[in-house]
Amino acid sequence: MKLGRIGQQTWTVYAACGDDGSCPLLDFIASLDTKRGAKVLRDLRVYVPTSEPADWVRARFSAALVGSDGIFEFRWPTRGGGTPRVFWFYDEGRVIICSHGLDKKGAMPQPELRLAEQVRRAYLAAKADGRLEILELEDLDPHDPRGSI
């Protein structure tokens, strides 16, 4: 499994990507309008790595997802349209792994939770087998402009 390093300071934030370099999180960010996509990526690169989970909860920026096995979400509420959400989970050593995103208001679809749990299981298996490859976000696809959002 490849991991794209999004940000690193107190916390290290990674995007879980396929061995082929595909990255559902980056695809999600690229699907948002430019302003919202830039905000999501900036928060994952700067705010999350430099702040603490208590800050995230207090600001209602993050919450544990009910009915999931260790999956959380970051949220960017908007007045109109959907609410960008990024699914993530913790690992030891102040590490956050983001699996994918969804632009939706209201109740969380169970298939999205199951997908995030599947990514978590695949990550833990790859870690146990020594099959994690860490890349800088921009190195996932040098021809893809998503890294410059």
**Residue range 102-125: average pLDDT?**
92
More confident residue, 95 or 149: 95
Which pLDDT does position 140 carry in this prediction? 72
For the beta carbon of residue 120, count every other beta carbon within 10 angstroms. 22
For the beta carbon of residue 80, count every other beta carbon within 10 angstroms. 4
Average pLDDT over the chain, rounded to whole?
90
Which pLDDT does position 141 carry in this prediction? 57
**Residue range 41-55: average pLDDT?**
96
% of residues, the chain, pLDDT over 90? 77
> Model pTM?
0.91
**Residue range 110-121: average pLDDT?**
95
Report the distance separating Cα 107 and Cα 84, nearest Å: 13
Domains of the chain: 2-137 (3.30.2310.20)
What stretch of H or E contains 16?
Answer: strand 12-17
| Residue among 38, 37, 102 nearest 71 (CA) | 102
Please, which pLDDT band fits residue 138 given cuts at 50, 70 and 90? confident
Does the pLDDT at position 145 exceed 90? no
Which pLDDT does position 80 carry in this prediction? 73
Do residues 48 and 13 lie in contact, with contact meaning Cβ atoms separated by under 8 Å?
A: yes
Handedness of CA 126, 90, 136, 17 (dihedral sign): positive
Report the distance separating Cα 140 and Cα 133, nearest Å: 11
Assign 119 to helix, strand or coil.
Answer: helix
What stretch of H or E contains 130?
Answer: none
Report the distance separating Cα 145 and Cα 125, nearest Å: 31
% of residues, the chain, pLDDT over 70? 94
Paired tokens of 23? 């990255």
